[in-house]
Structure 1
Amino acid sequence: MQVAAKQNNVSLTTIYGGGNRHIQLAELKQYLQYNPKPDYAILINYPGGAEQSMSLLEQHKVNFITLEETIVGVERDEVGKPRQRFKYWLGEVFHDNFKAGEQLGKALLNEAINAKQTPHFVAINGHYGTESDTRSDGLVHYLRKQDVELEQVVYASWNKQEAENKVSRLLQRYPDTNVIWCASDLMAQGALEAVKGKKDKAYFIGGIDWLDDNLDLIEQQKLTASVGGHFMMGAWALISVVDHHNGNPYWQNHDAIKFQLGVITKHNIQSYSWLRNIQDWSVIPFETFLLQNSKSTEYAFDFDTLHSLLSEKPKNTALH
């Protein structure tokens, strides 16, 4: 996000909310009190604090974009959709968690079939909430279409040790299990620990996040797959802000940008080495993704496009 800002002549200030809605609100209040009003704000809403943060930005007449779909239920009903209650709320930028669950399920199933194994699935979810449930819903939907049974979905609170414990119990309950779908890479590491030393069969394990350790394990063929790419979300939001500043009508006609994540397996991990080896993100020509620089009305935020554009150079206009 910082590199995308620099390339497009945007002054970017980062405020840290400490993962806490009260701290975030206090920091935001302090910033708005002692600094010139920014043109835009990009933020993650914390459950229970969305209305206050958004009301504060609205009061200061700051256009803002939210990242991820973190607000659900009654709170979601209260804040509404972008530009309904909060007219300065341009929209949301988030990754397709449902599709991510499907993508991971498909990669794991394909590997089991390629190895001539009958797939027996269990799923390790994060916590009881929209993000993890949407991921497992994607898996359930995909397996139903493939007529493959999912033995059970359990929750491990995004925790490696808890995932290891839960997988150990699931293997006792369902001894035929050979495919373990995990809603995060850290929990996939826990699942791998749980099957360590078991020589009776091949296990196909994958998660979501593109953690570097997991990519190493895929390279070593100890893990099967990882879905990721959501670390680019801030950069994608910033690109849309630059377009809006320059008069592009995207945020007048849309209230969201939903982008797909990528899947890494042993079959394509070498083609992602460029991404893993980047020390200087300025090699990516972020301005190429601007709608003002293309004939499209929709954003092409994907890693194939990123890879193919690594040789181009940047330019653009100023905002704060």
Structure 2
Amino acid sequence: MYLYRRWLLLLVLLSLPAQGLAAPSRVALFLPHSPTAFWQQLVRVMADAGDDFGMELEVHYGEDDHQRYVRQIQLRLQQPSKPDFMVFKPYKKTTRAILDLAEAARVPTITFNTLPFDSERLLLGQPRERYRYWLAEFAPDDEEGGYDLARYLIQVAKQRQPSGVEQQITVLGINGPVAEMPARLRYEGLKRAVEEDPLVELLQVVNVDWRRSEAHRVVGKLLRRHQQISVIWTAADVLALGGADLLAERGAGPAFPVIGGFDWVPEVRSHIRAGRVQASVGGHFFEGAWVMVVIHDYLMSGELDDLDVRYLSGMGLLVPENIDQFSALFNDEDLGVDFRRFSRVMNPLLMQYDFSISTLVESP
């Protein structure tokens, strides 16, 4: 019966004239930050997915001011022409206030990019539990990403040791602000990787703002304090770039330390090709596209039963060995991905969503 309903819905959609689907749904995206390279990538991919589904995307940036962020959302939801859907990133414990606004405006909402803090969760509950219009939450698997990055960097550091020698691998961590959930989860992944290997020692982890200059300054101080460093693990590409800048200025040799981060930003991709950075975990800017897939399917079917309350989107490890394989996903002109093939409404045989990076690379 369930599969029959989905086939019936697809037949109805296909039978409609083009103008029948023309009243485009408007999705309002709220980001608490400024439009950095990562967020620009995410918005571009999200807009591409919206085009595939005939949906319009409007984007608002909060410029790292949490009060401005909430006020911005409040003013938008008070306008006579409300968005059909709202998507926002939880930021500095503003989630409850924003969900209250969405509930009052009766605007269906999805949170994405990170999960609320545990302390917030006690007040919020799960999507659809206390807030009827909070339909789902998306987040990258940051803990697994932190683990994968650490494991790869440790492996590369070991490969650079003299043949037949097993020396201690020493790790420095440059993490983001302690108040940010992605930083916390990525650090948990780092810790897990270190604890698994008796030959690895985590010397120190320092929390900084997501700024290149901060990483440059801190890495300089840490290299003066710790003489032998094998790995510099960072929680963002912007931090990896700051560390790589410092190493280049000091004329660091090709062997140590190895360095990596998160986000797949364009400059890091060129650094990976040149050997100045060894790895980047990323692809989570595609999460915006996955959100649009789910929004489309919900708007078309109206079936909450088909909608999970939480989606953990996968990330990929970008390294010299696979950077060419992923290169098509970095095309500014055409991603070459038709996001309609990930819709369960448009593809009734799909029993579940596949929001992995590998499925994009394999996409025809």
Structure 2 residues without counterparts, runs of 5 or longer: 1-45
Instruction: Give 1:288's aligned amino acid.
Output: R
**Counterpart contact for 1:64–1:90, Cα < 8 Å:** yes
The worse-fitting range, judged by mean Cα deviation, of 92-101 and 184-193 is 184-193
Q: In structure 2, do the counterparts of structure 1 residues 264 and 188 end up closer, same or farther at CA, with 3 Å as the change threshold? A: same
| Separation in structure 1 between the aligned mates of residue 253 and residue 53 of structure 2, nearest angstrom | 54
| Separation in structure 2 between the aligned mates of residue 26 and residue 212 of structure 1, nearest angstrom | 32
- Percent identity over the alignment is 29
SS class of match (1:149) = strand
The worse-fitting range, judged by mean Cα deviation, of 94-103 and 128-137 is 128-137
Runs of 4+ with >6 A deviation: none
Instruction: Give 1:97's aligned amino acid.
Output: D
| Separation in structure 2 between the aligned mates of residue 193 and residue 6 of structure 1, nearest angstrom | 38
Q: Which residue does the alignment assign to 2:191?
A: 140
Matched, 1:286 2:336: no
Matched, 1:165 2:204: no
Instruction: Give 2:171's aligned amino acid.
Output: F
Q: In structure 2, do the counterparts of structure 1 residues 61 and 85 end up closer, same or farther at CA, with 3 Å as the change threshold? A: same
Q: Which residue does the alignment assign to 2:357?
A: 303
Task: Give the Å deviation of 1:10.
Answer: 2.0
Q: Which residue does the alignment assign to 1:102?
A: 147
| Separation in structure 1 between the aligned mates of residue 85 and residue 254 of structure 2, nearest angstrom | 56
Residue 194 of structure 1: which of 236, 241, 246 is its match? 246
Q: In structure 2, do the counterparts of structure 1 residues 221 and 16 end up closer, same or farther at CA, with 3 Å as the change threshold? A: closer
| Separation in structure 1 between the aligned mates of residue 328 and residue 87 of structure 2, nearest angstrom | 28
Q: In structure 2, do the counterparts of structure 1 residues 110 and 131 end up closer, same or farther at CA, with 3 Å as the change threshold? A: same
Q: In structure 2, do the counterparts of structure 1 residues 10 and 173 end up closer, same or farther at CA, with 3 Å as the change threshold? A: same
Residue 156 of structure 1: which of 208, 222, 225 is its match? 208
Instruction: Give 1:298's aligned amino acid.
Output: Q
**Counterpart contact for 2:160–2:255, Cα < 8 Å:** no
Task: Give the Å deviation of 1:227.
Answer: 0.8
Q: Which residue does the alignment assign to 1:120?
A: 170
SS class of match (1:82) = coil
**Counterpart contact for 2:112–2:137, Cα < 8 Å:** yes
Matched, 1:181 2:226: no
Per the normalisation by structure 1, the TM-score is 0.88
Q: Which residue does the alignment assign to 1:30?
A: 75
RMSD: 2.2
Instruction: Give 2:360's aligned amino acid.
Output: L
Task: Give the Å deviation of 1:249.
Answer: 5.0
Task: Give the Å deviation of 1:18.
Answer: 3.6
| Separation in structure 2 between the aligned mates of residue 221 and residue 42 of structure 1, nearest angstrom | 37
Structure number with greater CO (CA < 8 Å, separation at least 6) is 1
Instruction: Give 1:290's aligned amino acid.
Output: S
Q: Which residue does the alignment assign to 1:209?
A: 263
| Separation in structure 2 between the aligned mates of residue 210 and residue 200 of structure 1, nearest angstrom | 22
* Number of residues of Structure 1 aligned to a counterpart in Structure 2: 309
The worse-fitting range, judged by mean Cα deviation, of 47-56 and 180-189 is 47-56
- 1:4-153 matched pairs, under 5 angstroms: 4-116=49-161, 118=167, 119-129=169-179, 130-147=181-198, 148-153=200-205
